[in-house]
Amino acid sequence: PVDRLQCNPNLSNGIARISGCRISEFNHDPRALADAVIATHRRFGGDGAKVFTDLFTVAEAMGAKIKFPDDDTADLLEPAIDDVSRIDELEPIDPEKACRIPTHLKAMEMVVDEISSEVPCTALVVGPFTTAFFLIGVEKMTRLMVRDPQSVDRLCQVSLESTLRYVDAAASRGMGISIAEPLSSCTVVSPKHFRRYAAPVVGKLLNHIKDKGMGTSMHICGKTDGIWEDLADMGLNALSIDNVVPLPGCVSKVGDRMKIMGKVDPSSVMFAGTREEVRKACLSDIRDAYRSPKGFALMSGCGLPVETPIRNIDAMMDATRELGWPITEEKLEKALAIDRYDD
């Protein structure tokens, strides 16, 4: 029976703090990664268990160089190639052998084996448009979209093939698929460029997942209002939006075509706010979206900072438990009128 609204705080690499390991252990120890995912689910009881470490696993497997801090999230050090003349050197990955991906796949097997009967388990796959940026560098890719469309298409296609192979490998382990496409954001590229370059490969990825009989969700950072209808037209099942996006506008425009997820501010509220500020922000977002026709799930607007206070994550989960189910306007107004925490 339904007891509350769906909620997933989206801890990202903060899961290391829950299991007590270093983030760097995720890069070579599948047991450490799986244990952190499992411990996070059992500590907070959210509505999804996600295997993910950073945006660069596929790009690294295709030749990009990555910086690995001892206890922080990996970052891009150098793209895979430095010039379009080298695009033909790029080859689609073999996910069973490619750099850190086998570690992730083994962790997925452990997660599915241990908690898939309790909660949906997903692999968060970086989308093909975003990975294409990491193959040649963000600045160069941005210039190429104006000066050399054919090279952008070639980068996107080889990136897509690697992404599809990763999806197949994750799905074969019993994982659902969710997608991160941060560089499809209208904050980064115009809706025109999204339609010209990103939409063809993102659409093929969505169709590939659908052909497996699966639905999928997608998170895009920053502003996305210029492409909401494009994503709905592609058949996306659920869209996770950033805190900079107007939630009522998203619900009004495409809430009848896909589930909306979001959008509590991960930094100023979840990381730096008090428990009461977290609670009120959650209640406000629920009020704005709980009647969305295709459903609403409460989430942070992006992955939480690693050191987000555990009590604030508890406050997010507790906000949905406080309202229970079904949600009514009366319950919401009563909850918003009082303070629950004194901190």
Map residue 196 onto helix, strand or coil: helix
Which residue shows structure tokens 């030749």? Answer: 63
Q: Are the C-beta atoms of 297 and 7 separated by less than 8 Å?
A: yes
Res. 320: pLDDT tops 90: yes
User: Rounded mean pLDDT of the chain?
Assistant: 98
Show the tokens assigned to 253.
Answer: 């425009």
Please give the pLDDT value at position 41. 98
By the 10 Å C-beta count (0-12 exposed, 13-18 middle, 19+ buried), 55 is classed as buried
The dihedrals phi and psi of 156, each to the nearest 5 degrees, come to -65, -35
Please give the pLDDT value at position 187. 97
Q: Tell me the H-state helices in 84-148.
A: 101-115, 128-136, 138-147
Closest CA to 11 of 343, 312, 235: 312
In the chain, pLDDT over 70 holds for what percent of residues? Answer: 100
Q: What is the pLDDT of residues 274-297, one digit of tens each?
A: 999 999 999 999 999 999 999 999
**How far is 343 from 125, CA to CA, in rounded Å?**
38
Res. 330: pLDDT tops 90: yes
**How far is 166 from 100, CA to CA, in rounded Å?**
12
Residue 2 neighbours by CB under 8 Å, 6+ apart: 325
Q: What is the pLDDT of residues 203-234, one digit of tens each?
A: 999 999 999 999 999 999 999 999 999 999 99
- 123's enclosing H/E stretch is strand 121-126
In the chain, pLDDT over 90 holds for what percent of residues? Answer: 99
Report the 10 Å Cβ neighbour count for 75: 12
Res. 37: pLDDT tops 90: yes
Average pLDDT over residues 139-144: 98
Please give the pLDDT value at position 63. 98
Please give the pLDDT value at position 214. 97
Banded pLDDT at 343 (limits 50, 70, 90): confident
Show the tokens assigned to 155.
Answer: 């980068």
Closest CA to 66 of 83, 48, 54: 54
Q: Are the C-beta atoms of 141 and 133 separated by less than 8 Å?
A: yes
Q: Which residues of 235-268 are buried (b: 16+ CB within 10 A; e: fewer)?
A: ebbbbbbbbbbebeebbeebbebbbbbbbbbbee
Average pLDDT over residues 187-200: 98
Please give the pLDDT value at position 80. 98
DSSP structure class, residue 125? E
Banded pLDDT at 194 (limits 50, 70, 90): very high
Please give the pLDDT value at position 1. 84
Q: Which CATH architecture has domain 14-337?
A: Alpha-Beta Barrel (3.20)
The DSSP code sequence of 31-46 is HHHHHHHHHHHHHH--
Q: Which residues of 32-43 are buried (b: 16+ CB within 10 A; e: fewer)?
A: bbbbbbbbbbeb
Please give the pLDDT value at position 308. 98
Q: What is the pLDDT of residues 236-275, one digit of tens each?
A: 999 999 999 999 999 999 999 999 999 999 999 999 999 9
Please give the pLDDT value at position 213. 97
